[in-house]
Structure formats: C-alpha cells, structure tokens
C-alpha cells in the first residue's frame, strides 16, 4: 500500500538558453507529491505517517522554498551573488531563519545562507523530480514523484531503494541501532 503527501514550494528560476518566455527570471508555487510504498506497519496500521514524510522531505527541500534556483553556467549567478554580497544577503541575514540543511548531490547544491540552489541541469519539472529523488531515495521508500509548476507537470515511478525499519508504536523510521528517535521504542 502507499502513503501519499503533497506540499508547496515557492521559488524563482529561469530556463537559461531556452527559446521562449521561460528564459526570463520568473516565479512559481511548485507542488510536489511524494508516494511511498511498503507493507502496512501492523503496530500503527499505516505504511508511513504522512506528516513524517513531509518532515523528512522538508528538512532538505525547504532549500528550494523562497529560493532562487539557477543552472551552474547561468551568467545571472555571479551577478546575483555580487548583489547579495554587497547587500549583506550572501552569507546569511538575521531574517533568513527558515533554512534547510545544506546539501550537495551530483544534480544540485544548496546554499541556505543565500537561499540559492545551483543545479547541473535546467530546473524543469522533470529536472526537479530527478533532484528530489536523488535527495530522498535513501530516506523514504519512494515509488512515485509528481511535480507541478504552472501549467507544467511531470511524474515518474521508481523502484524503492530504501530498506526502512519502522517503529511499531509511532510509525517513523528507527535509527541504525534500532531506537525510535520520536517515542524511544527499542527494537532489542
């Protein structure tokens, strides 16, 4: 069975070099749907708590929220960094509080202090699905990701790669040593 959750990300981006309006900087509310699949965890009668999927995903994906997403070779990147530097935004600001944990994968690098994500490929909806899967595939048993942004939407199915031991009392992932970080249950 599947547990499914959806949440929104607000970001600015552009398709550098694309022949169309999307080569201009613009913004979206993107909507990500994550589907995880597993057996029903008998202790709690659910596959995986949806609020926990959101929490695990949001810890890294909030890097995309109220953020600028630019391709690594976009000439806007040094220009924006220059302005952020001169105006005290590049290395963090007292009002930049909702920061994600920095990450760097083969497809994207997040700079939470500057609310900037630099991507290898253009961040289309397809590109975002590839980025999200790479970030979360070891943390959640993802079988489908769907991302919509404006009139664009993409969806992809995956073979789950994670092997997740779940707490029989609250449903979330146990730590490597078999302890539940939320309720303290111990497997052994």
Residues lying near Zn ion in the complex (CB under 5 A) are found at 167, 169-170, 180, 182-183, 185
Nearest to Zn ion of 164, 169 (CB atom): 169
Q: Are 125 and 147 in contact (CB under 8 A)?
A: yes
Q: How far is the CB of 159 from Zn ion (least distance, A)?
A: 27
Q: How far is the CB of 117 from Zn ion (least distance, A)?
A: 14
- Determine the Cα–Cα distance for residues 127 and 87; give it in Å rounded to an integer: 31
Nearest to Zn ion of 47, 161 (CB atom): 47
Nearest to Zn ion of 83, 183 (CB atom): 183
* Cα dihedral sign, 165-167-171-172: negative
Q: How far is the CB of 152 from Zn ion (least distance, A)?
A: 7
Nearest to Zn ion of 162, 169 (CB atom): 169
Q: How far is the CB of 56 from Zn ion (least distance, A)?
A: 14
State whether residue 100 is helix, strand or coil. Answer: coil
What kind and span of H or E run contains 70?
strand 67-71
Q: Where are the beta strands (DSSP E) in the chain?
A: 2-13, 26-37, 67-71, 108-111, 116-119, 142-149, 152-157
């Amino acid at each position: 069975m599947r547990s499914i959750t959806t949440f929104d990300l607000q970001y600015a981006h552009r398709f550098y070099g694309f022949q169309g309006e999307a080569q201009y900087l613009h913004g979206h509310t993107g909507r990500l749907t994550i589907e995880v699949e597993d057996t029903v965890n008998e202790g709690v009668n659910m596959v995986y708590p949806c609020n926990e999927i959101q929490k695990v995903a949001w810890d890294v994906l909030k890097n995309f929220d109220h953020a600028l997403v630019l391709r690594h070779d976009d000439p806007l990147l040094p220009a924006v960094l220059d302005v952020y530097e001169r105006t005290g935004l590049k290395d963090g600001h007292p009002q930049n509080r909702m920061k994600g944990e920095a990450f760097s994968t083969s497809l994207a690098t997040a700079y939470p202090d500057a609310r900037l994500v630099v991507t290898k490929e253009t961040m289309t909806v397809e590109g975002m699905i590839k980025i999200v899967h790479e970030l979360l595939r070891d943390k959640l048993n993802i079988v489908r990701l769907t991302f919509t942004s404006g009139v664009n939407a993409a969806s992809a199915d995956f073979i789950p790669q994670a092997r997740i031991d779940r707490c029989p009392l609250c449903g979330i992932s146990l730590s490597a040593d078999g302890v539940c970080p939320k309720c303290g249950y111990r497997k052994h």
